[in-house]
């Protein structure tokens, strides 16, 4: 595990497999009558959400609380940002309070990376930055697939994954592609041409198509995405109804799916657009399982970042034999590398 | 120590070098049989008894003890497994990773629990196990069975059933497996 979790690239295939394996243990904790362990007692986790969220925020906070960490919850709308405080000052103020981990979501890509440059103590977990990445969502999708296929991380080898919807504006899609391809799955992107990224060079996807009906009969996993009106997706489509008729998972299309296939949706699910209301009730749709697994996956991520030497608040333990990946965050104060994306307001 | 944990704890470029075979596979079998008899004797039978193996080294020993208890008393003894990673007091001081999933299917309230581990060393694992057990009910009594007691306790913990008392140096390692017990150390490659 790296010091921070900014994107799936920080983990690599081994890191992903480790998170999924550790998640098994936390899933067992979640099944207990009293789902609480003292693992992170005395640690403080702050959730900084500069963008609306229900499940991610609650999921991280539940995860931290189930490991007995203290949780500070920060909502941009009710903060001094309103009075004109800068992002940097806000983040540094929170660090000054002695926080061990910062879970951050922001509409601009690269804010989590930028936060790692400003913060010297806390570990940073990216809970979604602009179009860039949402690693824990991808990890919980993989965990859900792995659980349904028997609990072995090798199950992804050769698995056919279809990611359907607004790929262009989706950080979830980017993290999913990175995670599935790292584990050896074959990913097909499906969406209207206007909502596909201009280039998929370097994504490692198998194919890109605008005809969903070609893909469904052979798909092991179908991952639906929401049309993100707040990022301007609407302007890329003639109408939502047209999107539904071309790409929505209707009952008719769902009948083309193999019975063993798995349909996932990161939420929030908009019934009647990307999936019809009756199709959402099919047994292949595992949306609530995804939410339940989200807590266990986030427990594993927080545990691996905070509970292992080399992480925050554990000085002098860098020599733990745990390699910090080159894709990890630069040391505090390092000058901006070419990977700097922060500050770019590339959100819709 | 189980293999995965040992791999994390071990400095790079250092390997486990076996030095002395302390117990043979047959010795371990005899020790299991004796300990099973002692468990029956101490508890006047196996009613309300539950064996809980500590992941991962204690689990196979717990299963063998349970099999022997069935032969002796003709009653099934439930076996659970417990991973104490989340209850350790050295989280953040050394690599602590869950080894395997905890599996205790029953409420332990009112039962006699025998914790089973392969090696008793500092006692910190057992301390963590006692805390973890509390989540599964209030056991009437908790006893401790270990294949090897190697000394160097850091906490006031003592085993009830011991396969072998083995005086060791602090930096030595004890390896318990199906092939017996081996004493060795870490050496640079």
Domains of chain A by residue range: 8-134+291-306, 135-290
* Contact A318/B at CB under 8 A: no
Question: CA–CA separation, A229 vs A121, rounded Å?
Answer: 36
Predicted confidence (pLDDT) at residue B35 exceeds the cutoff of 90: yes
What is the domain count for chain B? 1
- Residues β-bridged to residue B49: B112
* CATH number where B111 lies: 3.40.50.2020
Task: Kindly compute the dihedral angle of the four CA atoms of residues B161, B167, B171, B175, in this order, to the nearest 10 degrees.
Answer: -50
Residue B164 is assigned to a structural domain of this protein: yes
What integer pLDDT is reported at residue A345 of this predicted model? Answer: 33
Chain A residues touching residue B12 (CB < 8 angstroms)? 321
- Structural domain that includes position B89: 24-169
Q: For residue A24, what is the nearest residue in chain B, using CA coordinates?
A: B101
* Contact assignment for A314 to B93 by CB distance below 8 Å: yes
Predicted confidence (pLDDT) at residue B166 exceeds the cutoff of 50: yes
Question: CA–CA separation, B173 vs B21, rounded Å?
Answer: 12
Question: CA–CA separation, A167 vs A195, rounded Å?
Answer: 6
pLDDT band at B43, cuts 50/70/90? very high
* Contact A32/B at CB under 8 A: yes
pTM of the predicted model as reported, rounded to 2 decimal places: 0.85
Chain A residues touching residue B92 (CB < 8 angstroms)? 306-309, 311, 313-314, 317
* Contact assignment for A25 to B95 by CB distance below 8 Å: no
Nearest to B134 by CA among B76, B66, B86: B86
What integer pLDDT is reported at residue A79 of this predicted model? Answer: 72
Residue B181 is assigned to a structural domain of this protein: no
pLDDT band at B174, cuts 50/70/90? very high
pLDDT band at B50, cuts 50/70/90? very high
Q: Which long-range contacts (CB under 8 A, 24 or more apart) does A239-243 make?
A: A240/A273, A243/A192, A243/A273, A243/A274
**Which parts of chain A register pLDDT below 70?**
1, 233, 309-348
What integer pLDDT is reported at residue A314 of this predicted model? Answer: 37
Chains A–B, number of C-beta pairs less than 8 Å apart: 66
What integer pLDDT is reported at residue B100 of this predicted model? Answer: 85
| H or E element, residue A105 | strand A101-106
How far away is chain B from the Cα of A294, in angstroms, using its nearest Cα? 18
Residue B185 is assigned to a structural domain of this protein: no
Residue B177 is assigned to a structural domain of this protein: no
* Contact A340/B at CB under 8 A: no
Please enumerate in sequence order all residues whose Cβ is within 8 A of that of A256, keeping only pairs 6 or more positions apart, or say none. A213, A216, A217
* Contact assignment for B101 to A24 by CB distance below 8 Å: yes
Question: In angstroms, what CA-CA distances link A283 with A178, B162, B168, B176?
Answer: 27, 52, 58, 46
The answer to whether A265 touches A223, Cβ cutoff 8 Å, is yes
pLDDT band at B13, cuts 50/70/90? low
Q: What are phi and psi of A330, to 5 degrees?
A: -70, 160
Instruction: Express each pLDDT in B59-76 by its tens digit.
Output: 999 999 999 999 999 999
**Counting Cβ atoms within 10 Å, is residue A217 exposed (0-12), middle (13-18) or buried (19+)?**
exposed
ipTM of the complex: 0.80
Q: For residue B133, what is the nearest residue in chain A, using CA coordinates?
A: A37
pLDDT band at B99, cuts 50/70/90? confident
Nearest to A23 by CA among A134, A109, A145: A145
The CATH architecture that domain A8-134+291-306 belongs to is 3-Layer(aba) Sandwich (3.40)
Residue B187 is assigned to a structural domain of this protein: no
What integer pLDDT is reported at residue A1 of this predicted model? Answer: 67
Predicted confidence (pLDDT) at residue B189 exceeds the cutoff of 80: no
Q: Is the domain covering A135-290 a CATH 3.40.50.1370 domain? A: yes
Instruction: Express each pLDDT in A16-67 by its tens digit.
Output: 999 999 999 999 999 988 899 999 999 999 999 998 888 899 999 999 999 9
Chain A residues touching residue B129 (CB < 8 angstroms)? none
**Counting Cβ atoms within 10 Å, is residue B188 exposed (0-12), middle (13-18) or buried (19+)?**
exposed
| Straight-line distance from the first to the last Cα atom of chain A, in angstroms, rounded to the nearest whole number | 32
pLDDT band at B187, cuts 50/70/90? confident
């Amino acid at each position: 595990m790296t010091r921070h979790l900014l994107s799936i690239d920080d983990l690599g295939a081994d890191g992903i497999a480790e998170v999924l394996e550790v998640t098994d243990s936390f899933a067992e904790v979640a099944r207990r009558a009293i789902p609480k362990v003292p693992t992170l007692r005395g640690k403080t986790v702050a959730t900084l959400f500069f963008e609306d969220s229900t499940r991610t925020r609650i999921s991280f906070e539940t995860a931290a609380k189930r490991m007995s960490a203290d949780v500070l919850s920060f909502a941009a709308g009710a903060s001094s940002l309103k009075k004109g405080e800068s992002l940097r000052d806000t983040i540094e103020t929170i660090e000054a309070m002695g926080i061990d981990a910062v879970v951050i979501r922001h509409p601009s890509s690269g804010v989590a990376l930028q936060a790692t440059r400003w913060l010297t103590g806390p570990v940073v977990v990216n809970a979604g930055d602009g179009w860039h990445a949402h690693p824990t969502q991808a990890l919980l999708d993989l965990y859900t697939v792995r659980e349904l296929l028997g609990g072995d991380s090798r199950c992804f080898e050769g698995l056919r994954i279809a990611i359907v919807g607004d790929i262009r504006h989706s950080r979830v899609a980017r993290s999913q592609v990175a995670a599935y391809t790292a584990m050896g799955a074959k990913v097909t992107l499906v969406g209207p041409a206007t909502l596909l990224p201009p280039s998929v060079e370097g994504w490692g996807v198998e194919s890109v198509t605008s005809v969903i009906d070609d893909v469904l009969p052979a798909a092991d996993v179908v991952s639906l995405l929401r049309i993100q009106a707040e990022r301007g997706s609407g302007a890329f489509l003639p109408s939502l109804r047209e999107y539904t008729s071309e790409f929505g998972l209707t009952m008719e299309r769902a009948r083309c799916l193999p019975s063993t296939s798995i349909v996932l949706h990161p939420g929030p699910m908009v019934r009647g657009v990307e999936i019809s209301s009756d199709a959402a009730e099919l047994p292949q749709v595992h949306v609530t399982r995804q939410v339940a697994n989200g807590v266990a996956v986030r427990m594993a991520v927080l545990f691996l970042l905070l509970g292992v030497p080399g992480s925050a608040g554990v000085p002098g333990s860098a020599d733990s034999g745990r390699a910090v990946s080159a894709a990890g965050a630069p040391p505090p104060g390092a000058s901006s590398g070419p990977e700097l994306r922060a500050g770019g307001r590339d959100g819709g | 120590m189980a293999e995965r944990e040992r791999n994390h704890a071990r400095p790079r470029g250092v390997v486990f070098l076996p030095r002395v075979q302390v117990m043979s596979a047959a010795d371990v079998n005899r020790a299991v049989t004796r300990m099973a008899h002692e468990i029956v004797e101490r508890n006047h039978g196996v009613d309300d008894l539950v064996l809980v193996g500590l992941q991962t080294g204690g689990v196979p020993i717990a299963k063998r003890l349970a099999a022997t208890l069935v032969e002796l008393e003709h009653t099934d003894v439930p076996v659970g497994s417990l991973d104490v990673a989340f209850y350790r007091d050295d989280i953040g001081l050394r690599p602590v990773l869950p080894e395997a999933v905890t599996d205790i299917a029953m409420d332990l309230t009112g039962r006699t629990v025998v914790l089973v581990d392969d090696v008793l060393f500092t006692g910190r694992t057992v301390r963590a196990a006692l805390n973890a057990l509390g989540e599964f009910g209030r056991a009437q009594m908790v006893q401790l069975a270990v294949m090897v007691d190697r000394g160097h306790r850091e906490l006031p913990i003592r085993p009830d059933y011991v396969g072998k008392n083995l005086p060791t140096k602090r930096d030595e390692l004890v390896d318990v497996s199906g092939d017996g017990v081996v004493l060795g150390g870490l050496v640079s490659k």
